[in-house]
A = this chain, B = another copy of it.
Amino acid sequence: MKNPIRIVLADDHTVLRAGLKSLLSAESDLEVVGEAGDGIDCVALAAELQPDVIVLDINMPTCGGLEALPAIRERAPECRVLVLTMHDDPGYLRTVLRSGGSGFLLKQSAADELLSAIRSVAEGGLYVSPRHARVLLDQAAADTARRRPDDENHVRYRSLSDRETEIFKLTALGHSNAEMAEILALSVKTVETYKSRMMKKLNLDGRASLVRLALELDVLH
């Protein structure tokens, strides 16, 4: 093939890099053009070689993949980054995608999957590890499920009067009674009345449970 996919491997385990390199080199359309042992080296290599794809480990000493990602995106914008990790923490996935990563793969994945993922991201696609894909899909499903209005708390929340709702939101945002009175041009005492009526209706006990409910109902912002 005239234009192989040029790849940089970044992982602190030399043996692992060697293994990957031999695996990838066996494919005629893939070429490993550089290796890095930590995030710093990886950023430098990316800037110098401008590879098509970087296979990036998250757990590396001195500078991990998550720290290196933004720098890579800045210095090699055309380069797609496929993040490799041992841990299936869904939080990582979110961080990676928000930081401009193009793919997310577990180290437990099959070799075929790695090849498939590399080719996908090289073509510009997004690739997400099966397990995490399922997480995303479940999350999307949960999202729509969470929207169902038959939730007890949600019903109670919607039964609040206009003023009570405003006080609910403002309280959740941490405003003091005095601030709310100022904002709504009311007496502090009036604010207190709304608040206590509202707390009673929602069967809440203290600011903490109020904030938790607000986050649950996603009424902030």
Q: Please give the residue numbers on chain A whose beta carbons come within 8 Å of chain B beta carbons, in ascending order.
A: 70, 73, 97-100, 102, 110, 112-113, 116-117, 119-120, 123-131, 133-134, 136-137, 140-141, 143-144, 172-176, 179, 206-212, 215, 220-221
Contacts and interface: CB of A to CB of B under 8 A. Distances in A.
Contacts of A130: 123-125
A167 B94 CA distance: 25
Contact of A126 (B98, B127, B206): B127
A130 B103 CA distance: 12
B174 A99 contact: no
Chain A: interface secondary structure?
helix
A128 B117 CA distance: 12
A102 B175 contact: no
A211 B176 CA distance: 12
B100 A173 contact: no
Contacts of A209: 174
Contacts of A125: 113, 116-117, 120, 127-130, 133
Contact of A120 (B98, B110, B117, B124): B117
B221 A140 contact: no
Given A102-B133, A126-B127, A211-B211, 6 more contacts: A98-B143, A110-B123, A125-B133, A174-B208, A174-B212, A175-B207
A116 B124 CA distance: 11
Contacts of A179: 206, 208
A140 B100 contact: yes
Contacts of A126: 126-128, 133, 136
10 contacts: A102-B137, A112-B123, A116-B116, A116-B125, A123-B130, A127-B127, A172-B174, A174-B206, A174-B208, A211-B211
